[in-house]
Structure 1
Amino acid sequence: MSRKPRQWYKGARFHITARGNRGSDLFYDDADFEEYIQFIRWCQEDMPFILHAYCLMTNHIHFLLEVKSHSPGEIMKFIQFRYAKYFNSRHKVYGHLFQGRYYSKLIDTRAYFLAASKYIHLNLNPVEAGICSKPHSYMWSSYPCYLSNKESPILTTKALLNCFQEPKRLRYRAYIMQGGGEAFVDYCKEYRPQGS
């Protein structure tokens, strides 16, 4: 039986996750993280999309992205296929690096857009995993870019920051650090990506 095609349209936003096959690591060192980010950049040049937030964990990734003229599937195939080839060649391993297809959830409201960004920047990821005590200290996340004027070649902060009044960065930080909030709690109940 064939798989049901995923729905998408120009301007659609998605929370996307992908994990290592059987929970195995996707990144062994900083060079791997840097190479993955380079593949994101190349993909944006080839088939433009907007990356609103991301977090690269050792064995899984999170994106909050907005598509333009290419589907999330085309974008993920570009990045994952090239990264898997690089990883297998560099580390002299064989077989599937990623566990099945990526997982995605359509973000269809402003509240979910904000909740997904909080989920990516705070709830599960480096803080909960015990990698760091504060989300802004994790270098493979987009969160530090939201707290400073630091530019990222792959990230667009404008849409999320525009959800807040001035001073936008301080208000976004307060939103991330505050308690759950109804939209966030609902988001976590409805959607805890597989393997994260």
Structure 2
Amino acid sequence: MSRKYRICYPGATYHIHARGNRRGAIFYEDSDYHYYLKTLESVRSKYPFILHSYCFMTNHLHLQIETITSPISHIMKEIHARYAIYFNHKYDFDGHVFQGRYGSKVIESIHYFLTVSRYIHRNPLEANMIINMAEYPWSSYSSYIHNKKNPHIDPTRTYSYFKNPVHEQYRLYVENETKEDELIWVPR
């Protein structure tokens, strides 16, 4: 069976998700999360991209990535290969760290862009891991709502869809529990 073709073009934005092999953990300790972020930055210097949002759970992760010129396949292959080597070496494991290829979906509308951002940031809440999303340390959410610098993400595009104060409007958008189509943002 052949692999599904991935849509790829310069400037494409993706919702990336990856799960641990056999739904196993891909992060055991804080140092694992830090290493994944360090790997993202290292790969970004080789294959530039914009990271709009992220959330790392124990056994899976979500990224909202916009490519510049390099294909998403090069970016993700490099990140996951490096992380797998680190992970297997650290825990004396063999074999696959991730369950198959990462999943990707091209984001081609503002509505979907914002829906993905909201979904990523709500992940720990929906999994009943936390009560307050801003307290989850392995997500970009707290930097969005507190309007504080996170060196891994660029909130500019996301903020551009909200009225001032953008960080508060974004918080209301993400934390609102109404139906998705009732959520308010500024269409452009």
Q: TM-score, normalised by structure 2?
A: 0.93
1:72 CA displacement: 1.1
1:157 CA displacement: 0.5
RMSD, aligned α-carbons: 1.3
Q: Which runs of 5+ in 1 are unaligned?
A: 185-196
2:152 matched residue in structure 1: 154
Secondary structure, aligned partner of 1:126: helix
- Tell me how far apart the structure 1 counterparts of residues 10 and 127 of structure 2 sit (CA, whole Å): 34
1:11 and 2:11 are equivalent in the alignment? yes
1:119 matched residue in structure 2: 119
Equivalence map 1:42-191=2 (5 Å): 42-122=42-122, 125-178=123-176, 179-182=178-181
1:89 CA displacement: 0.4
Secondary structure, aligned partner of 1:17: strand
Q: Is the 8 Å Cα contact of residues 112 and 183 (structure 1) preserved in structure 2?
A: no
- Tell me how far apart the structure 1 counterparts of residues 25 and 73 of structure 2 sit (CA, whole Å): 22
- Tell me how far apart the structure 2 counterparts of residues 128 and 24 of structure 1 sit (CA, whole Å): 19
- Tell me how far apart the structure 2 counterparts of residues 65 and 173 of structure 1 sit (CA, whole Å): 20
- Tell me how far apart the structure 2 counterparts of residues 4 and 93 of structure 1 sit (CA, whole Å): 29
1:5 CA displacement: 2.8
Q: TM-score, normalised by structure 1?
A: 0.89
Q: Which runs of 5+ in 2 are unaligned?
A: 184-188
Percentage of matched positions with identical amino acids: 43
* One-letter code aligned to 2:181: E
Secondary structure, aligned partner of 1:173: helix
Q: List 4+ stretches of structure 1 deviating above 6 A.
A: none
- Tell me how far apart the structure 2 counterparts of residues 113 and 160 of structure 1 sit (CA, whole Å): 8
Q: Is the 8 Å Cα contact of residues 17 and 61 (structure 1) preserved in structure 2?
A: yes
